[in-house]
């Protein structure tokens, strides 16, 4: 792992801040443009091997190789954090991740005047207002509104004055009035294979105007309805006005990620672009063609076809495994690696990269039995001992011993990997040629290798009871498996047919004391569940003990 010390970055003296909360919201177009350093509107990526301005690898977004420099921050590939760009869409588009939420909002408001269909004074709506979770509140409000066939809500005087609508009589019953509502019959919405379908009732306004009773709903049409929703209705549906609005569920400006998350692979003079980059190029190309058709005043069917193609590319960029639409493939007919596929699954960003070995300061390897190990010992491979470290504070009592460890360096056991100064800066001994000449001060910490006798926690999953995690004393040995006495297999429910176990090295003297006096294997022989031993001699040890103790057995 590359650290700030490896890159010669000075240690920051900025004041530490405590994170109180993290909130995920939908980015509005203004925020996307505000974060952006460049508008991406050019299909071409390179000219004479150099990234061009306006392309998906615009030099303002960050460098694409070690030879180039970022035009925004002036740093190279290692230090540039990457900068976002944006593309302005020729037509608004649905977001696949928010299509269900968009559908719920559309079912909750009037198609014609964008008012909430349910009466705010209805006890079901009042109960829904008490739900704090925004998703559950929107679902509850939608359930209150879905049975409403006509916009006939009753609102307070202040809200009616704000919206400026008068009472409207029902044509079928002049004595009935719709206070605040427009009185029109409401259409039915359904999502069919990623397409939002809208169906108008017989005798409704759409039929009277000569329109189709059932047709696909364009994102532009949905955006017009969502923009008209009043602030009070927005809050009633569970949205936070300060952070998100239902209109932001529709994409009008699309964020373009920096090249760092979609790196270019070079083979000599040839470049191979990431799947995400290739899909972004398709989006920009289709968006430009759609913009040209709109500017030229092309027919609705032509604009509709280009809009469908652009919507397809946006969908498959975020998720290429949507049921109902064909998978996007590369030139070699391989399914495109979408953003969702990079995040999900065991090999994704979260579980595969961020989580690492589930925890830090942990080792995992295949286990094996060894009758030479004491019941409280675990034989640890030397390769593991070179990686797992314990921070030792430098004192007058141990400075000579620590200097010997530092002199051995990071690749010789027993040695050390890092020196941590009092200001928090680190010296990586892997990159120090003459470790013996390093000066060490009292109060510094030295992260030394694991030693014989270090107390560790040994664990086999699934951890079904207390004895699935017990303390052991480490013994550094050759070979690459974790080995321990066969008598200890029962509480772990372990066998040696390929099982793997985890080993954790405590990082404080307090944790070492807890392992030694509370978790150590000999202190957990008796189970608290059955008040009986959970481990004992097995296999060869049991058989040998039986033979040795027979009356007619004599030892020479």
Same domain as 478, residue 429:
yes
- Count other Cβ atoms within 10 Å, centred on residue 462: 7
Q: What is the pLDDT of residues 430-476, one digit of tens each?
A: 888 888 888 888 999 999 999 999 999 999 988 888 899 999 999 99
Confidence of residue 482 (pLDDT cuts 50, 70, 90): very high
Confidence of residue 110 (pLDDT cuts 50, 70, 90): very high
Would 313 be classed as within a structural domain? yes
Same domain as 422, residue 390:
yes
Would 292 be classed as within a structural domain? yes
Looking at per-residue pLDDT, the higher value among 169 and 6 belongs to 6
Same domain as 202, residue 66:
no
Same domain as 388, residue 438:
yes
Quote the tokens at residue 373.
């190990």
Q: What is the pLDDT of residue 169?
A: 45
Q: What is the pLDDT of residue 78?
A: 86
Q: What is the pLDDT of residue 10?
A: 64
Would 37 be classed as within a structural domain? yes
- Count other Cβ atoms within 10 Å, centred on residue 25: 12
Quote the tokens at residue 316.
């498959």
Same domain as 257, residue 233:
no
To which residue do tokens 């404080």 refer? 508
Q: What is the pLDDT of residue 425?
A: 86
Same domain as 438, residue 375:
yes
Confidence of residue 207 (pLDDT cuts 50, 70, 90): low
Would 267 be classed as within a structural domain? yes
Q: 381 pLDDT exceeds 90?
A: yes
Same domain as 324, residue 437:
no
Contact 370, 485 (CB under 8 A): yes
| Poorest-pLDDT segment among 156-170, 312-326, 356-370 | 156-170
Number of domains forming the structure of the chain? 3
Provide the CATH number for the domain around residue 83: 4.10.860.120
Same domain as 507, residue 393:
yes
Same domain as 100, residue 90:
no
Which residues have C-beta within 8 Å of that of residue 168, sequence separation ≥ 6?
177, 178, 181, 182, 183
pTM of this prediction exceeds 0.75: no
The boundaries of the domain holding residue 142 are 96-154+179-248
- Mean pLDDT, the chain, integer: 86
Same domain as 281, residue 144:
no
Q: What is the pLDDT of residues 148-188, one digit of tens each?
A: 888 876 555 555 555 444 444 444 444 344 445 788 889 99
C-alpha angle with apex 22: 21 to 24, nearest 5 degrees?
145
Sort residue 437 into left (φ over 0), alpha (ψ -120 to 50) or beta.
alpha
Residues 134-160, mean pLDDT to the nearest whole number = 78
Q: What is the pLDDT of residue 205?
A: 60
Confidence of residue 258 (pLDDT cuts 50, 70, 90): very high
Would 272 be classed as within a structural domain? yes
Same domain as 223, residue 78:
no
Looking at per-residue pLDDT, the higher value among 423 and 9 belongs to 423
Provide the CATH number for the domain around residue 497: 2.40.40.20
Q: What is the pLDDT of residue 352?
A: 77
Quote the tokens at residue 358.
């589930």
**% of the chain residues with pLDDT over 70:** 90
Half-sphere exposure for 361 (CA within 13 Å, toward CB):
15
d(CA 150, CA 173): 14
Residues 341-354, mean pLDDT to the nearest whole number = 82
H or E, element range at 168: strand 168-169
Q: 257 pLDDT exceeds 90?
A: yes
Residue 510 exposed, middle or buried by CB count within 10 Å (0-12, 13-18, 19+): exposed
End of a domain among 248, 278, 298? 248
Half-sphere exposure for 316 (CA within 13 Å, toward CB):
24
Q: What is the pLDDT of residues 16-70, one digit of tens each?
A: 889 998 888 889 999 999 999 999 999 998 888 889 999 999 999 999 988 889 9
Quote the tokens at residue 208.
């009277």
Quote the tokens at residue 75.
């740093």
H or E, element range at 159: helix 157-163
Residues 395-403, mean pLDDT to the nearest whole number = 92
Would 548 be classed as within a structural domain? no
Confidence of residue 348 (pLDDT cuts 50, 70, 90): confident
d(CA 453, CA 468): 21
Contact 539, 486 (CB under 8 A): yes
- Count other Cβ atoms within 10 Å, centred on residue 71: 18
d(CA 145, CA 154): 13
d(CA 131, CA 138): 9
Q: What is the pLDDT of residues 286-313, one digit of tens each?
A: 999 999 999 998 899 999 999 999 999 9
Looking at per-residue pLDDT, the higher value among 68 and 5 belongs to 68
Same domain as 396, residue 322:
no
């Amino acid at each position: 792992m590359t650290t700030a010390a490896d890159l010669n970055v000075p240690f920051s003296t900025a004041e530490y801040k405590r994170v109180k909360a993290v909130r995920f919201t939908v980015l509005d177009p203004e925020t996307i443009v505000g974060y952006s350093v460049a508008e991406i509107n050019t299909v071409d990526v390179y000219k004479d091997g150099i990234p061009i301005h306006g392309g998906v690898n615009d030099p303002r977004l960050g460098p694409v190789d070690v030879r180039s420099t970022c035009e925004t921050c002036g740093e190279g590939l290692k230090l540039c954090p990457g900068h976002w760009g944006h593309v302005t869409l020729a037509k608004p588009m649905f977001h696949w991740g928010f299509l269900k939420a968009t559908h719920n909002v559309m079912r909750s408001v009037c198609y014609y005047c964008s008012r909430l269909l349910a009466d705010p004074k209805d006890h079901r709506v009042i109960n829904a207002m008490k739900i704090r979770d925004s998703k559950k509140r929107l679902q509850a409000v939608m359930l209150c509104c879905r049975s409403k066939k006509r916009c006939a809500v009753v609102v307070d005087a202040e809200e009616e004055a704000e919206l400026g609508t008068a009472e409207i009589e029902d044509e079928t019953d002049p004595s009935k009035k719709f206070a605040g509502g427009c009185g029109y019959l409401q259409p039915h919405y359904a999502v069919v294979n990623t397409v939002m379908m809208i169906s108008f009732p017989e005798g409704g306004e759409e039929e009277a105007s000569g329109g189709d009773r059932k047709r696909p709903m364009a994102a532009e049409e949905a955006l017009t309805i969502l923009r008209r929703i009043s602030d009070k209705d927005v809050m009633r549906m569970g949205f936070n006005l300060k952070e998100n609005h239902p209109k932001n569920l529709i994409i009008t400006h699309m964020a373009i990620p920096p090249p760092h998350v979609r790196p270019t692979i070079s083979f000599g003079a040839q470049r191979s672009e990431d799947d995400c980059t290739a899909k972004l190029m398709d989006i920009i190309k289709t968006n430009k063609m759609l913009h040209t058709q709109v500017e030229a005043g092309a027919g609705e069917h032509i604009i509709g076809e280009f809009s469908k193609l652009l919507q397809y590319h946006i969908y498959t960029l975020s998720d290429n495994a949507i049921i109902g639409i064909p998978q996007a493939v590369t030139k070699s007919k391989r399914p495109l690696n979408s953003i969702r596929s990079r995040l999900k699954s065991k090999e994704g960003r979260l579980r595969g990269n961020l989580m690492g070995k589930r925890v830090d300061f942990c080792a995992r390897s295949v286990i094996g039995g060894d009758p030479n190990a004491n019941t409280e010992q675990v034989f640890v491979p030397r390769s593991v001992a070179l990686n797992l470290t314990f921070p030792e504070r430098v004192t007058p009592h141990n400075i000579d011993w620590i200097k010997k460890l530092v002199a051995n360096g990071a690749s010789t056991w027993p040695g050390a990997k890092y020196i941590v100064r009092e200001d928090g800066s680190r010296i990586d001994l892997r990159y120090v040629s003459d470790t013996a000449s390093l000066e060490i001060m009292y109060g510094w910490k030295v992260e030394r290798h694991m030693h014989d006798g270090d107390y560790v926690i040994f664990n086999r999953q699934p951890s079904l009871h207390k004895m699935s995690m017990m303390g052991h004393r480490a013994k550094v040995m050759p070979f690459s498996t974790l080995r321990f006495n066969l008598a200890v297999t029962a509480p772990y429910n372990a066998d040696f047919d390929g099982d793997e176990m985890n080993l954790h090295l405590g990082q404080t003297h307090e944790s070492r004391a807890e392992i030694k006096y509370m978790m150590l294997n000999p202190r957990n022989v008796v189970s608290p569940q059955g008040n009986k031993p959970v481990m004992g001699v097995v296999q060869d040890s049991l058989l040998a003990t039986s033979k040795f103790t027979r009356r007619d057995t004599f030892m020479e």
